[in-house]
Copies of this chain bind each other. A is one copy, B any other.
Amino acid sequence: MGGDHGPAIVIPGAALTLERRPDARFVIFGDEGQVVPLIDQHPKLKAVTTFHHTEVSVKMDDKPSQALRYGRYKSSMWRAIDATKTGEADVTVSAGNTGALMAMSKFCLKSMPEVDRPAIACLWPTVRGESVVLDVGATIGADARHLVDLAVMGAAMARVVFDLDRPTVGLLNVGVEEIKGVEAVKEAGRILRELNLPQMNYHGFVEGDDLGKGTVDVVVTEGFTGNIALKTAEGTARQISTYLKAAMSRSLMAKIGYLFARGAFAALKDKMDPRKVNGGVFLGLEGIVIKSHGGTDAVGFASATELGYEMARENLMAKVREMVAASARQEASAQEASAQREAAAQAATVQ
């Protein structure tokens, strides 16, 4: 029921996913009157869908606390999340209110024990392929501890998505020199360097322009900056599309050129299509939830659904859980070793 267009894009999006992933099965929650007629238009989808009617839908502009108050246990959003908890579904996908979706996911699924706060990760297109970027808006502000969690969860996702043993991880900062930047970012860099986790290769600081370059497999930042970087990049891409369109229609020669090169332009448009990289992955919860852009269409919603499909198929959550637990153990033993060294040093001083 969520997003700017509700079932009108969700149902055709699901049908599109089914075409590409014929073994997908769907559990759909929403208002019967609005949803069922749309499902009926897609017989193949109908054949593999379990539909549950819900009376309540979370509105796009409600505060998370409001949505929890009236929508807990009974809204389509809550019940879709709960389906992942009960095992009826492997992954939940929603185009609804991000804050409410995160609040309900935390409440219903709970965070992993080692993770203080969940995060939203996205796949960022780069000239080298794609990178995992997180947090793009789950929480605002981050201490060093949380940034380290983000690095571990992001690396786990990169291992799954890019099939890498030791993905490279960078901390987003305002300069690559060690002297610059926020204290929490510097401290997180020190911790990651010292831990030297076997599941990731800590690269150091990266800057905003490293995002598009694909300098590292995983870019870590707190949610405010990450959200603004993501939307700035989307805005810049749209801005350049506008320039390009204007340039290609400014003269007859340009128009003729456009006709010759239209295959190339189509490929470029496809490459820059924001719908193809739609989907924020909630990390750090005991279940997988994917947030689709609220304003997307069926094609974009299908991308988010397919991202969820892949994450479930690759068992992302188990791998994140495993890596988070392993890094927590490693940190604990590093702390113990350092405490022992200190105690030994003190004993030596006393003697």
Listed in ascending order, the chain A residues whose CB lies under 8 Å from chain B are 61, 63, 99, 125-127, 137, 140-141, 172, 174, 177, 179-182, 207-213, 221, 223-225, 227-240, 242-244, 247-248, 250-251, 253-254, 256-265, 267-268, 271-272
Contact = CB atoms under 8 A, between A and B. Distances in A.
Contact of A228 (B180, B229, B248): B229
A229 B229 contact: yes
Contacts of A247: 261, 264-265, 267-268, 271
Given A140-B181, A229-B229, A127 B256 contact: no
Contact of A235 (B179, B211, B224, B261): B211
B250 A260 contact: no
Contact of A179 (B63, B207, B213, B263): B63
A236 B212 contact: yes
A263 B247 CA distance: 9
A239 B182 contact: no
A283 B253 CA distance: 45
Given A182-B224, A247-B267, A232 B234 contact: no
Copies of the protein in its oligomer? 2
Contacts of A227: 174, 208
A153 to B, nearest CB: 20
A125 B137 CA distance: 26
Interface residues of chain A: helix, strand, loop or mixed (majority) = helix
Nearest to A259: B257
Contact of A174 (B137, B179, B233, B248): B137
A216 to B, nearest CB: 13
Contacts of A140: 174, 181-182
B254 A261 contact: yes
B272 A141 contact: no
Given A250-B267, A251-B264, 12 more contacts: A99-B180, A140-B181, A174-B223, A174-B228, A207-B231, A208-B231, A209-B231, A209-B234, A232-B233, A236-B237, A253-B263, A256-B257
A240 to B, nearest CB: 5
A33 B250 CA distance: 49
A208 B237 contact: no
B213 A239 contact: yes
A228 B244 contact: no
Contacts of A172: 228
